[in-house]
Amino acid sequence: MRRRQEPPENHERWLVSYADFITLLFAFFVVMYAHSQVNKERAQQISEAVKRALEEGQLSNILSGLLGARKDRGNAPATALQGREQGGVNQPSSGFYAELLPSLELLREQLKAEIEEGKMSLSMEPRGLVITLRQAAFFPSGGDAIAPETYPSLQKVADAIRPLPNPVRLEGHTDSVPIRNARFRSNWELSAARSIAMLELFTTRYKLPRERLAIAGYAETIPVDTNDTEEGRAHNRRVDIVVLNKAGLTVEPAMGGPHRQTTNQK
C-alpha cells in the first residue's frame, strides 16, 4: 500500500503575524506623533481615524489623507477654505470637525497677535468653529458700539468665513452683574444688541450675505468662567462667532418654503 504523501510545510505562515505586528506598530507611532503636536483637534482626529481604520481595515488610506493635509497647509489661503463641491454648489463636508479645521488653522496664523494679546480666542466645538471676541477689546462697558480700531481684526475673520458655505451664528454673552441704563434694561437686551451690531458690521462693511447669519443673546446664562471674580466676569463678557458645521446645523431651524408643513392649533 502506497503511503500518502504529506503536504509540504508552509514556511511563510509567519508573514501573517508579522504583517499584523507591523500594522499595529505603525498605528502606535502615528498616535504618538499625533499627541506630540500642539493642535489638539488634529491629534483627536488622527486618533479616532486610527481606531476606525483598525476596525474597518482601511488604515493606510485614512491616515495618508490625514497626514497629507498637514503637508498641504502652504496652499491654505487659496484652497483650504473652499467647501466641498458637489454639482457646482459648495457643500459642507460630512466630517465632524474636518470641514472647519483648515479655517481654524488659518485663523490661528492670521489672528496670532490678537490671540496673544487676549482680545480673541479660537476653539473647535462639536457644533463648529467658535471665534470668541472679548468685550473689553471690542465694546465699551455697557454699550453695543463696536470699537473702530478692531475693524482690521474683524476684517480677517470676515475674509476667512466668507468662502465657507456654512451658516454663522453671532452669540452675545454678558456677566451676571445686572445692567439698567438709559439704553438697556437688562443683560438680555445688551447681549442681543451686541450680536446685532456685529451682524450689521459683517453685512454692511464686509458684505457677508444676511441669509447666512443669525443672532442670539444669552445674557449671563452660559458663562465660561466664574462670576465671582473680575477676571472671570471679563471672560464671560464676550461675543462668539460660531461657524456651524453639519452637526451644529441639526439644532438649527429648517428654512421655510412653499412646501413646509405647519400645524395650526385652535
* Domain ranges for the chain: 16-76, 94-249
Query: With contact defined as beta carbons under 8 Å apart, do 171 and 195 qualify?
Result: yes
**239 forms bridges with which residues in the sheet?**
133, 172
pLDDT in tens, 101-127: 888 888 999 999 999 999 999 999 888
pLDDT at 43 over 50: yes
Query: With contact defined as beta carbons under 8 Å apart, do 102 and 81 qualify?
Result: yes
How does residue 55 score in pLDDT terms, banded at 50, 70 and 90? low
How does residue 175 score in pLDDT terms, banded at 50, 70 and 90? very high
pLDDT at 201 over 80: yes
Nearest to 69 by CA among 36, 97, 91: 97
How does residue 154 score in pLDDT terms, banded at 50, 70 and 90? very high
pLDDT at 78 over 60: no
Query: With contact defined as beta carbons under 8 Å apart, do 167 and 241 qualify?
Result: no
Query: With contact defined as beta carbons under 8 Å apart, do 172 and 216 qualify?
Result: yes
CA angle 260–253–237, rounded 5-degree value: 160
Which architecture characterizes domain 94-249 according to CATH?
2-Layer Sandwich (3.30)
* Choice between 101 and 240, residue whose per-residue pLDDT is larger: 240
Q: What is the rounded CA–CA span in Å between residue 63 and residue 238?
A: 37
Nearest to 121 by CA among 224, 25, 30, 195: 224
The per-residue pLDDT for 81 is 33
pLDDT at 230 over 90: yes
How does residue 266 score in pLDDT terms, banded at 50, 70 and 90? very low
- Evaluated on CA atoms 120, 157, 129, 210, the torsion sign reads positive
The per-residue pLDDT for 165 is 87
Instruction: Give the lowest-confidence range in 133-137, 174-178, 204-208, 242-246.
Output: 242-246
Stretch 239-248: mean pLDDT, rounded? Answer: 88
How does residue 213 score in pLDDT terms, banded at 50, 70 and 90? very high
How does residue 218 score in pLDDT terms, banded at 50, 70 and 90? very high
Residue 188, all three cell numbers = 438680555
